[in-house]
């Protein structure tokens, strides 16, 4: 299926594809939802399970330094998102981290009651913020505006501006630096969700002066299904925030078994319970693929892949309407189109070896992950898409039956 394309000729990332274990008959445009398995991870997991767990048993916590995995993995992610060492920890899920971080942020602005977010945010972030406001029962309000209205909605009522940088559905990307500045000028704190940013393009949390961030381990970071997530606390806050979940792994000295809680110094206080060693080890190993990669190269290729895809689809599939921004500067690493029978179309594509996904009610979404996707893949995917639309191959009952996960 993979022929050649001239734009792949001088690709500095071309050799990276061999670092991944991809089925031969698949063009995978869904690394924004679940990243691909790096080829060396199974052997590493075999080692962790059979030797570290199997042989070391409880001694593994010290012998293999399992106990420090959250910081170790956190520091590796920190490099990818422009954060200083010691400000990122890998733990829990993105959803749980949103809860912890928004709660800690609200606590730093006790006289303010508004959490501002936008309707392009991923629902779980909104559910959590709304649920937290209810739980606190102190009159907090979750205010949700359209993405393009966020800037104008920043007022001095805000405690926290809570945004996802890249819209999961459309790929629209917020200006992190400008919005953070605006919120700070209004006296608010800012939390960025980097679920569709980390590993997808250069992120500069420190440069943007962000207060908090969270992100996902199983999307562009390739940590595997349900991989641990991460969170970031800026240096100026990390010794002041009050964690909402005062678990023993966030204690200053967990193994003192003190009956009184004292928060650990730094970002470690945001940890809660025992780290999931197996999944953290998989994420840790998966991050190796980024070790010798320049995020600038990733961005450059990502833009080139997305531009080619948009151009070809618009020329060859007139029934699809572009949902993503046309301007690359305000787009992440994904491209979405609208089609009335989007679900069936995506099912037909998947049956033909092109894997993307569908977001209700009518959006087909394609993620472009430059570490393992080539311009030849883009052309291969468009070819299938064109045939399926032209021949109405999607118009079959079997492609219209909704499964649990879309
Ligand atoms: C993928 C994603 C999540 C997922 O959260 P989980 O806790 O891993 O289920 C949360 N927020 C955003 C913005 C996402 O894109």
- HEC per residue, the chain: CCCCCHHHCCCCCHHHHHHECCCCCCEECCCCCCCCCECCHHHHHHHHHHHHHCCCHHHHHHHCCHHHHHHHHHHHHHHHCCCCCCCEEECCCHHHHHHHHHHHHHHHCCCCCEEEEECCCCHHHHHHHHHHHHHHCCCCEEEEECHHHHHHHCCCCEEEEEEECECCCCCEECCHHHHHHHHHHCCCEEEEECCCCCCCCCCCHHHHCCCEEEECCCCCCCCCCCCCCEEEECCCCCCCCCCCCCCHHHECCHHHCCCCCCECCHHHHHCCCCCCHHHHHHHHHHHHHHCCCCHHHHHHHHHHHHHHHHHHHHHHCCCCEECCCCCHHHECCEEEEECCCHHHHHHHHHHCCEECEEECCCEEEEECCCCCCCHHHHHHHHHHHHHHHHCCCCCCHHHHCCCCCC
In this structure, are 121 and 191 located in the same domain? yes
Asked if residue 127 has its Cβ within 6 Å of ligand 1, the reply is no
193 flagged as catalytic = yes
pLDDT tens, 360-398? 999 999 999 999 999 999 999 999 999 999 999 999 999
pLDDT of residue 202: 98
CATH number of residue 239's parent domain: 3.40.640.10
pLDDT tens, 56-109? 999 999 999 999 999 999 999 999 999 999 999 999 999 999 999 999 999 999
In this structure, are 154 and 268 located in the same domain? yes
How confident is the model over 308-316, as a mean pLDDT? 98
Annotated binding site for pyridoxal 5'-phosphate: 94-95, 122-125, 164, 193, 196, 218, 248, 274
Which range of residues forms the domain containing residue 203? Answer: 44-290
pLDDT of residue 220: 98
pLDDT tens, 314-357? 999 999 999 999 999 999 999 999 999 999 999 999 999 999 99
In this structure, are 50 and 141 located in the same domain? yes
From 20, 212, 218, 399, the catalytic residue: 218
Label residue 3 by pLDDT band (50, 70, 90): confident
In this structure, are 203 and 341 located in the same domain? no
Share above pLDDT 70 across residues of the chain, in percent, rounded to a whole number: 100
- Whether the model clears a pTM of 0.95, i.e. scores above it, the answer is yes
How confident is the model over 194-222, as a mean pLDDT? 98
Checking if the pLDDT of 208 tops 80, the result is yes
pLDDT of residue 383: 98
Q: Could you tell me if residue 405 is inside a domain?
A: no
In this structure, are 225 and 349 located in the same domain? no
At which of 290, 320, 340 does a domain end? 290
How confident is the model over 33-45, as a mean pLDDT? 98
From 173, 219, 301, 384, the catalytic residue: 219
218 flagged as catalytic = yes
365 flagged as catalytic = yes
Checking if the pLDDT of 124 tops 90, the result is yes
From 17, 112, 359, 365, the catalytic residue: 365
Query: Which ligand 1 atom sits nearest the alpha carbon of residue 94?
Result: 7
How confident is the model over 133-139, as a mean pLDDT? 97
At which of 258, 274, 290 does a domain end? 290
In this structure, are 136 and 229 located in the same domain? yes
Checking if the pLDDT of 1 tops 80, the result is no
pLDDT of residue 2: 53
Residue 271 backbone dihedrals phi, psi, to 5 degrees:
-75, 160
In this structure, are 35 and 114 located in the same domain? no
Task: Report the residue among 32, 122, 162, 279 best suited for mutation to probe ligand 1: largest number of ligand atoms under 8 A from its CB.
Answer: 122
Label residue 406 by pLDDT band (50, 70, 90): confident
Query: Which ligand 1 atom sits nearest the alpha carbon of residue 229?
Result: 8
pLDDT of residue 80: 98
How confident is the model over 18-22, as a mean pLDDT? 97
pLDDT tens, 233-276? 999 999 999 999 999 999 999 999 999 999 999 999 999 999 99
pLDDT of residue 50: 98
In this structure, are 173 and 106 located in the same domain? yes
Mean pLDDT of the chain: 97
Query: Which ligand 1 atom sits nearest the alpha carbon of residue 125?
Result: 11
219 flagged as catalytic = yes
């Amino acid at each position: 299926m993979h022929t050649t394309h001239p734009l792949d000729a001088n690709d500095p990332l071309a050799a990276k594809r061999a670092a991944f274990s991809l089925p031969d008959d698949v063009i995978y445009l869904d690394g924004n939802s679940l990243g691909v398995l790096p080829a060396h991870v199974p052997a590493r997991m075999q080692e962790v399970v059979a030797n570290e767990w199997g042989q070391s048993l409880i001694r593994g916590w010290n012998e293999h330094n399992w106990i420090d995995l959250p910081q170790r993995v956190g520091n590796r992610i920190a490099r990818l998102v422009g954060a200083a060492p010691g400000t990122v920890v890998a733990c829990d899920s993105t959803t749980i981290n949103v809860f912890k971080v928004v709660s800690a942020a609200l606590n730093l602005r006790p006289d303010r009651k508004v959490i501002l977010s936008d309707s392009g945010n991923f629902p779980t972030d909104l559910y959590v913020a709304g649920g937290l406001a209810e739980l606190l029962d102190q009159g907090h309000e979750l205010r949700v505006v359209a993405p393009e209205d966020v800037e104008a909605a920043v007022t001095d009522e805000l405690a926290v501006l809570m945004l996802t940088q890249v819209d999961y559905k459309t790929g629209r990307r917020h200006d992190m630096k400008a919005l953070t500045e605006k919120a700070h000028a209004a006296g608010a704190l800012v939390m960025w969700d980097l679920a569709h940013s980390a590993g997808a393009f250069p992120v500069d949390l420190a440069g943007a002066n962000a207060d908090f961030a969270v992100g996902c381990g199983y999307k562009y970071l390739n940590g595997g299904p349900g991989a641990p997530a991460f969170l970031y606390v800026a240096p100026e806050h990390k010794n002041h925030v009050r964690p909402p979940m005062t678990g023993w792994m966030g204690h200053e000295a967990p193994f003192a078994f003190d009956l009184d809680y004292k928060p650990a110094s730094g970002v470690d206080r945001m940890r809660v319970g025992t780290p999931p060693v197996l999944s953290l080890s998989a994420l840790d190993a998966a991050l190796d693929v980024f070790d010798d990669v320049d995020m600038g190269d990733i961005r450059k290729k990502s833009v080139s892949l997305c531009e080619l895809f948009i151009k070809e689809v618009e020329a060859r599939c007139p029934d699809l309407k572009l949902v993503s921004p046309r301007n690359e500067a305000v787009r992440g690493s994904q491209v979405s189109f609208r089609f009335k029978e989007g679900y069936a179309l995506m099912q037909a594509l998947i049956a033909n070896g092109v894997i993307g996904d569908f977001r209700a009610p009518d959006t087909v979404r394609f993620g472009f992950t430059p570490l393992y996707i080539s311009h030849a893949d883009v052309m291969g995917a468009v070819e299938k898409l064109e045939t399926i639309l032209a021949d109405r191959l999607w118009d079959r009952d079997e492609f219209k039956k909704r499964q649990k996960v879309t």
